[in-house]
Amino acid sequence: MHSFSHWNFGKSRHVGAAIAAAALLAFAPASIARKAMPMSHQANPGEVWKQAQKLLKDGRRYGIVLEFPSNVQDNQALAMLLRSDDNSLKELLGMVVIVCLRRDFLNKTFKELKAAENALLVDWTGKKLAGAKLDYAQAATPKAFAKALRDLLYGNGGAHLEAWAGAARKQLGADKLKKVEQALKDLDAEHYKQRKAAKKVLKAKLPAALPLLIQARRAAKSVEVRENCRELLIAYADASAAKALGAPQPSPYYQHLRLRGGPQMFDW
């Protein structure tokens, strides 16, 4: 199991933020305070999981399942992370299906779930492949959060990603695989027209060639190749209107509190 306990940036600011939040709520009208509180309860996890299963199966994609936090601090931290417009998050949504589910539903659905795990890697059948413990409220930036999820996807030495890529190679077949592999090589071609043609080929082969594209991005020594791969992944996410299913809703109140308090308040 992966551990991200080294993301420990101190909790004093969160305690101060909580005190400030309570103080502001105390002086706010009751109707405003009620509307301001975050949506920390997920009503229909079963329906959310059905949507995720369809996306996983239809695209033969891997997915990352995150525990839907019940406490306000983690709930709002995850809400802001998953709704960031940072390209690292967009790229990740182009790689995998992301879904958030309540803990009680996770316990029923994944019998092998460990008590400390709140993030799971699943294959396109919904089978758990690996688990990790993430601290949403301690995640420094969307970029750092996305890296932690990519590491979960890759697995030790890239083992999880290679298993997915191996299945994709078989599914593509010899002819299509040959075209995809040539296009991946051409992402580093000297001539712009050749690189452009390669991206067109790869775009047409998504999501079938997704794990191969992700492998190329991970292994790229050339900045050109890495950026071309990222561009394709982000474009795929945008084209499919990808988003984290079942994600917590950000509370306008907590966003307002962060703006009023500046970066020392909710530095999420």
**pLDDT recorded at residue 55:** 97
More confident: 262 or 199: 199
The answer to whether the predicted template modeling score (pTM) of the entire model surpasses 0.75 is yes
Q: Which of 91, 100, 28, 47 is nearest to 249 (CA)?
A: 100
Question: Residue 257 has what pLDDT?
Answer: 54
Q: Indicate if the pLDDT at residue 264 is higher than 50.
A: no
For 112-163, how does the pLDDT look when each residue is reduced to its tens digit (9 = 90+)?
Answer: 999 999 999 999 999 999 999 998 876 768 899 999 999 999 999 999 999 9
All structural domains of the chain, each given as residue ranges with its CATH number in brackets, are 2-156+242-264 (3.40.30.10), 159-239 (no CATH)
pLDDT at position 11: 39
